[in-house]
A = this chain, B = another copy of it.
Amino acid sequence: MEAAPRTSNEKAGVTPLLTFSILSSFLKIHDKMKAAAMTLKKLAVDDPRRVRHSLKVGLTLTVISVFYYVKALYSGLGQSTMWAVLTVVVVTEYTAGATLYKGLNRVIATLLAGALGLGAHRLAALAGNDGKSVLLGVFVFLLAAMVTFSRFVPEIKARYDYGATIFILTFSLVSVSGYRVEELIGLAHHRLSTVAIGVAACMATSIAIFPVWAGEELHNLVASNLDTLASFLEGVGKEYFEQKLESHKNLEGASFLIGYKSVLNSKAMEDSLANFARWEPGHGQFGFRHPWKQYLKIGALARQCACSMQSLNGFISATEKSEALTNSEFQQNIKTACAVMCSESGKALAELASAIRDMRPPTAAAGHLGNAATVGSQVKMMGPSETTTVEEVLLYATMANLLLEIVHGAKHVADAVVQLANMAKFKHAEEAKSGVAKHNGDGESLHVVIDTKLLFNYLSFDHPLNQQGGVLHNTK
């Protein structure tokens, strides 16, 4: 919608002030609509599956509605339309897993509660006409309270929350409806079949037409989180630790520096995807019993690494603001070692991410982590040189130690990924396992030798401190 009266407003007989205020509110509305359109466009471009999903929902609903509309015209009953439409609208979710979770919960809960409701009816009928409604009221109260309370149990909340709601709903509807039992059975049968058809339509659409699998989303999310961590490490290594103090660019706001934040916030998403993934049938390379829980373990370990990265990031900004730092030998040594640790653990995490994506064991990760650990253990032997300030020692020591913690964390992630490869029987899983156990042997050792050599070249390892067994002496 274009803001039409933008030009030629002088010709109108209104005061300039009024013209201006009308103009500016038109422009404001125009800007807001433009912003909204941009938001929508971005949502569509970022993930075209969202558009497809919306069209799918529209299509399923239209087909079901029109089918029942035509049927209702002939049979004269509008009721079944309602249940079918209601089911489709309420059950359809973005991922196939969520749709299956809701659909199966709905059908099973409707079936169970319907049967129980009929039983309650028969039981209450024994109490005669007067006692019947009282007894039914008591049943509804007890069942609703009990099932509502059961929803506080975490396992039930995670798997059967929707089913619990539908269970209460159906039981109440059946037991309190004013119909006789004979009528009820026919009605229940009719309704259940309508609900089942609605659910089947949703499930078929969500599985057969451009399915979005919760399991695959989880798989990709975990892999891309590891990639995010890898690019943090690689970025910090190249842009910070490999630079001299004076040639530091201002890293504030660099995208690789803040990526860890999205990793820290991904727990809720991972949990819900893992919950839904359990309901999905085997698809593509994922079996029905694919170890989805293991992804949550990897995710938790990744967040632990991200935490250390957040701390490291804080210290990087601190060194950028500090004026007490010099280009001392000690600083250069630590930074060189840190650069190697960053690059090696970054490579390891990137390899883990790509191994998850390709569903193969992460063969090269252990070697990189071995290199990083070797360099890390060298850091413990480094001593400050003459020109170093205490603040500098503390700051760089902290960064090196945090990186070591990140390397340890990445090792845990690697172990969890190897475990995943074994559990999900990724190709060559056995070889990967043995590869981890002897990461200093065979093909892997090449890495270690080369990189340690590289490091020895960078660092002056004939430093007197190292020859004195790593004990610091001050000039007392």
Residues of the B chain whose Cβ atoms lie less than 8 Å from the Cβ of A145: 54-55, 57-58
Task: Across the interface, name the chain B residue whose C-beta is closest to A74.
Answer: B178
Judge whether B474 and A405 touch: CB under 8 Å: no
Most buried by B among A58, A138, A385: A58
Selected from B51, B140, B304, the residue in CB contact (under 8 A) with A310 is B304
Does A218 sit at the interface, judged by CB under 8 A? no
Task: Across the interface, name the chain B residue whose C-beta is closest to A136.
Answer: B69
Does A179 sit at the interface, judged by CB under 8 A? yes
Judge whether B176 and A69 touch: CB under 8 Å: yes
Judge whether B397 and A153 touch: CB under 8 Å: no
Residues of the B chain whose Cβ atoms lie less than 8 Å from the Cβ of A464: 474-476
Copies of this chain: 2
Residues of the B chain whose Cβ atoms lie less than 8 Å from the Cβ of A311: 307-308, 311, 402, 405
Does A273 sit at the interface, judged by CB under 8 A? no
Judge whether B153 and A39 touch: CB under 8 Å: yes
Does A137 sit at the interface, judged by CB under 8 A? yes
Judge whether B54 and A148 touch: CB under 8 Å: yes
Residues of the B chain whose Cβ atoms lie less than 8 Å from the Cβ of A172: 61, 65, 85, 89
Judge whether A133 and B165 touch: CB under 8 Å: no
Selected from B43, B65, B66, B169, the residue in CB contact (under 8 A) with A86 is B169
A73 CB to nearest B CB, Å: 5
Does A471 sit at the interface, judged by CB under 8 A? yes
Number of interface residues of A (CB under 8 A): 98
Judge whether B390 and A65 touch: CB under 8 Å: no
State in angstroms the CA–CA spacing of A391 and B382 once bound together: 9
Task: Across the interface, name the chain B residue whose C-beta is closest to A314.
Answer: B405
Residues of the B chain whose Cβ atoms lie less than 8 Å from the Cβ of A137: 62, 65-66
Task: Across the interface, name the chain B residue whose C-beta is closest to A176.
Answer: B65
Judge whether A173 and B384 touch: CB under 8 Å: no
Does A177 sit at the interface, judged by CB under 8 A? yes
Q: Of residues 248 to 300 in A, which have CB atoms within 8 Å of B's CB atoms?
A: 264-265, 267-268
Most buried by B among A76, A144, A173, A468: A144
Known: A61-B144, A172-B85, A173-B86. A474 touches B385 (CB 8 A): yes
Does A456 sit at the interface, judged by CB under 8 A? no
Does A374 sit at the interface, judged by CB under 8 A? no
Q: List 19 A-B contacts (CB under 8 A).
A: A43-B153, A54-B146, A54-B149, A58-B142, A58-B148, A62-B138, A65-B172, A69-B176, A264-B303, A383-B474, A385-B474, A393-B393, A397-B397, A398-B401, A468-B475, A472-B472, A472-B474, A473-B475, A474-B474
